[in-house]
Chains A and B, each alone.
Chain A
């Protein structure tokens, strides 16, 4: 099978599949080696450039054929229901905690956030953004991890496809600004004494 024929076969498979297809699945379905499949995927992605209504994306541990972002309004007219509801800032922060620390338990999330995470975790479970990941060997609270639906929604290639958490850490000046704000709010004793 030539690369061109293989890319046509992959296009048909990605069009048919309701979920992203991993490289292993694509190799099995097309009875091809990983190298040719990867070349054919690149060829397919090239064919679905800016002029196309679809694009090839590596997401949630596989490859998917999806609509281009600028066509979302016209695509949504086809749906009986509006797209997924927005996530609140609290839900996004909780998702970030779980995505970086998974598997992580609800008490650990609450301890890190400083407030109860019960309602937020329940809401994320209901929306399919997270799922149960079992308990630790010592027992204890249920732990949670993110789902492929989470990776699809945020365009992540897989569970670990996140920027390093160190990129988000506060600099020394920013940390000092936090302390200063606390002092201004009446929580500090030393400087004004």
Chain B
């Protein structure tokens, strides 16, 4: 049985990080007051420690933890691109450089986007011209290379019946329960009883199984009575008194 799920306050989760040691709520407070530099806080390490501590918690608590960590990641992302926690931008030379590169790329690619639009206006789909596409060499020359008697020879070969497939590799051994029942009846009529081992001697597993079914069938019909003194011993089939 698995251990019961713990219900706890995720804000009180104790953390041991290189940069900070204490409960999670204190860490969040220090981050918001900017007493801890969020850019230097390794979020990956924080998530790993938090998840280790939270193992076995109930789903609502784990959900609250995930929400807290996501908020922290969002705040860090905003600060990294020069935006403050309220969504306002702050000066960030790196973000400006990224933006300038992106703008330069968009401006450089814009002519090709417009050329694509120009191509679309000339695309031959709707109301477009159509070209003759018949190859010059087909089909006349290809057929003319063969004489009628050659074609007749090809057809003659196609009309020859293929050899009968060999079935020698297949198991052709067949056992008929009706025949075994008839044989057992004959033996019982002659001697009054037969041994199962005598009947099946030299036979394979299939013959053994079918003979047993034949014996049971005779017993079901009331023509025979089966006796097996010891488990896994020989079965003696006796002719039933009524038949006798």
Contact = CB atoms under 8 A, between A and B. Distances in A.
A67 B116 contact: no
A6 interface: no
B123 to A, nearest CB: 7
Interface in B81-112: 81-83, 88-93, 95-96, 98-99, 102-103, 105-112
Residue from B81, B128, B134 having most chain A Cβ neighbours under 10 A: B128
B1 interface: no
A159 to B, nearest CB: 14
A46 interface: no
Nearest to A192: B89
A150 B98 CA distance: 37
A51 interface: no
A23 interface: no
Nearest to B122: A154
Which bucket holds chain B's interface residue count? 35 or more
B115 A72 contact: no
B132 to A, nearest CB: 6
A121 B113 CA distance: 16
Interface stretch (A36-44, A135-143, A174-182): A174-182
9 contacts: A17-B136, A65-B132, A69-B128, A93-B109, A162-B115, A175-B107, A179-B99, A189-B90, A189-B99
Would you list the 10 A-B pairs with minimal beta carbon distance, nearest first?
A96-B115, A92-B116, A168-B114, A168-B111, A93-B116, A187-B99, A67-B130, A193-B91, A66-B129, A189-B82
Interface of A: 15-18, 55, 57, 64-72, 75-76, 83-84, 86-87, 89, 92-93, 95-97, 99-100, 112-114, 152-155, 162-163, 165-166, 168-170, 174-175, 178-179, 182-183, 186-190, 192-193
